[in-house]
Amino acid sequence: MKRIWQGYIVAPLILKISIALILGVGVGLIFGEDAAVLAPFGDLLLRLLTFLIIPLILFTLIVGVN
């Protein structure tokens, strides 16, 4: 298990994204509508990104005006 984790850590970002995309499509195809149970995790991710991005843009604009 440790060897797999080390391989994941040193893998390029495009490979990690590709693996996640393939796993997501696989879960969607295999479980279909039952995969809707995972929807709250997707909503949480989007809310956390919004929580991070909006202040970042706001402070960038404030610093840029000064």
Residue 60's pLDDT is 93
- What pLDDT, in 10s, does the model give residues 10-47? 999 999 999 999 998 999 999 988 888 989 998 999 99
DSSP characters for 12-66? -HHHHHHHHHHHHHHHHHHHGGGGGGGHHHHHHHHHHHHHHHHHHHHHHHHHHH-
CB 49, CB 42: distance < 8 Å? no
Residue 15's pLDDT is 93
Whole-angstrom distance, CA of residue 56 vs CA of residue 62? 10
CB 35, CB 27: distance < 8 Å? yes
- What's the pTM value of the predicted model, to 2 decimals? 0.59
pLDDT score of 66 more than 80: no
pLDDT band of residue 2 (cuts 50, 70, 90) is confident
Continuous segment of H or E residues that includes residue 1:
none
Residue 21's pLDDT is 94
